[in-house]
Homo-oligomer: A and B are copies of this chain.
Amino acid sequence: MTASVEKWGVFEAAFAGPAGGNPFVDVTFDVEFGFANRRMTAPGFYDGDGVFRVRFMPDSEGEWSYRTRSNAAALDGRTGAFRCGPPAAGNHGPVRVRDRHHFAYADGTPYFPFGTTCYAWTHQPLDKQRQTLATLRETRFNKLRMGVFPKHYVFNENEPLYDVYERGADGALDFDRPNVVAFRHFESQVAALVALEIEADVIVFHPYDRWGYCAMTPDQDDRYVRYLVARLAAFRNVWWSLANEYDFLLDVKPVARWDRFFHIIEENDPARHLKSIHNGEETMPFDHRKPWVDHVCIQSWNVKRTGEWRREWGKPIVNDELEYEGDISLAWGDLTAQELTHRSWLTVTRGGYAGHGECYSDPDDELWWAKGGTLRGESWKRVGFLRAILEEDVERGLTPLDPDSFPWSRVSAASEGDYRLIYLGEHQPAVWAAGLPKDDRAYEVDVIDAWAMTITPAKRVPCPVYPRLRQRGGALSDPKPIAAFAVELPAKPYQAIRIRLAQR
């Protein structure tokens, strides 16, 4: 009977091969997959105990075949076939860039990233990891930043559940022998996120290390990236985040190395998952114009620049670290919940996407940002509220209103067709008109309180009339209202105005 796998599911095949020497290094093994006249190659990988595997994410329904290639006779020229059936409910395929600044799943469903961060959650005790998944199920997060390597840092001094590489007889890590137990565990958690419809933003390298993962040789680094891609690329929810804070590793991995890692992924990932790389210093974003960078991943508190970044890089903007809600004594991890909610709204209403994180101090150092567990803050609920607002109406993504039409650098506004979202943030006008419709079609206008999470039909009032400035060499023209009407607002911060055509 032919094996069967759903579209964008994981096809896997296992083969017995040589176990002697170091099969991780000595044995080459890849598999060419065929669908009608299409041919794609997936790297295989050694999974210990003489077993070699290949994984592949088919993207077309129908009959697929494959043929192995190896420098080991037992693994060379093996053939097989499988059938790819329709995707199950909730399976929309991998996320792709769409419309330059936005994302969609492969089946066309829009994807608006609302991610959070649990850098080292897969390295915590299993109970803790179960708790993390249970918490995520209660949130509306749909992306999770997570590192392959364990994390050494303040609040992160425990040993990981598994070493990522095997230890030799001397007890030292052997960076030529991946620990297959660690990788199997990591990928089981990537699969658990698939079930929750959460994208796994997999962090390939990071600088927070006391074990030596940052001191692998260039050859070892390259083999590690290829091995990781071989194991993970068939999971449809994988994103490749080449680094957390790549610039803190520049002494050991200069920019050309990062480019090379991008290329290794391009060479080995037939599914072509999204690739980006995250900076540490505000002033050190990667050069996201490079063609192998799919979207902009940045760290910046300066979120009113989101529109500039869009124009500068021409790619989707995902600000994965606009600082985190919390109370720790590090400035990136102690925002008020109001401020993180505010920055998330600022980002989205300027056409970008914002990541979440939470860092409340804990006697046992159990901080969500690194270890997962439970959420204690308030911004995560507001992030869910914002996601619901977007998904209710937006079909492809928001575009900032023309900054030449109004000083939208002060307040934020974005649109999609007749839909508009104006976010006033730290501004508290009693009446607002800018960005409201100029025509008299039937609009539905609501006032949204981003903090209180309420949506209230707006009370309309006449649009204020602003006299014109002097004109050169002529009389002042008659002032005209800038919109067909204005709306009343409560005099408090964090208000937004939603405008949409009625009877949609």
Contact = CB atoms under 8 A, between A and B. Distances in A.
A469 B209 contact: yes
Interface residues of A, number: 59
B469 A154 contact: no
A492 interface: yes
A354 to B, nearest CB: 15
Interface string A306-343: 00000000000000000100011111101110110000
Number of copies: 2
Query: By DSSP majority rule, is chain A's interface helix, strand, loop, or mixed?
Result: loop
B428 A336 contact: yes
Given A426-B339, A493-B339, A469 B207 contact: yes
Contacts of A215: 470, 472-473
B491 A154 contact: no
Contact of A464 (B152, B154, B331): B154
Nearest to A339: B426
Contacts of A281: 407
Contacts of A432: 329
A293 interface: no
Given A470-B214, A472-B215, A431 B464 contact: no
B426 A335 contact: yes
A467 interface: yes
A252 interface: yes
A426 B304 CA distance: 15
Given A329-B433, A407-B331, A153 B467 contact: yes
A429 B212 CA distance: 32
Interface string A489-502: 00111000000000
A491 B327 contact: yes
B157 A467 contact: yes
Contact of A466 (B154, B252, B411, B486): B154
A334 B428 contact: yes
A434 interface: yes
Nearest to A426: B339
A470 B429 contact: no
A282 interface: yes
Nearest to A156: B467
A473 B215 CA distance: 7
A87 B332 CA distance: 51
B430 A361 contact: yes
Nearest to A208: B469
B336 A493 contact: yes
A35 interface: no
A411 B331 contact: yes
User: Taking each of A301, A361, A426, which has the highest tally of chain B beta carbons within 10 Å of its own beta carbon?
Assistant: A426
A212 B475 CA distance: 9
A176 B350 CA distance: 50
Contacts of A51: none
Interface of A: 152-154, 157, 207-210, 212, 214-215, 248, 251-252, 281-282, 301-302, 304, 323, 327-332, 334-336, 338-339, 361, 407, 409-411, 424, 426-434, 464-467, 469-470, 472-473, 476, 486, 491-493
21 contacts: A152-B467, A152-B470, A154-B464, A154-B467, A208-B469, A209-B469, A210-B470, A214-B470, A248-B469, A282-B407, A301-B304, A323-B427, A327-B491, A329-B430, A329-B433, A331-B427, A332-B407, A335-B428, A336-B426, A336-B492, A339-B493
Given A152-B469, A215-B472, 19 more contacts: A152-B467, A153-B467, A154-B467, A208-B469, A248-B469, A252-B472, A282-B407, A301-B304, A327-B429, A329-B430, A329-B431, A329-B432, A331-B434, A332-B410, A334-B428, A334-B429, A335-B428, A336-B427, A336-B492
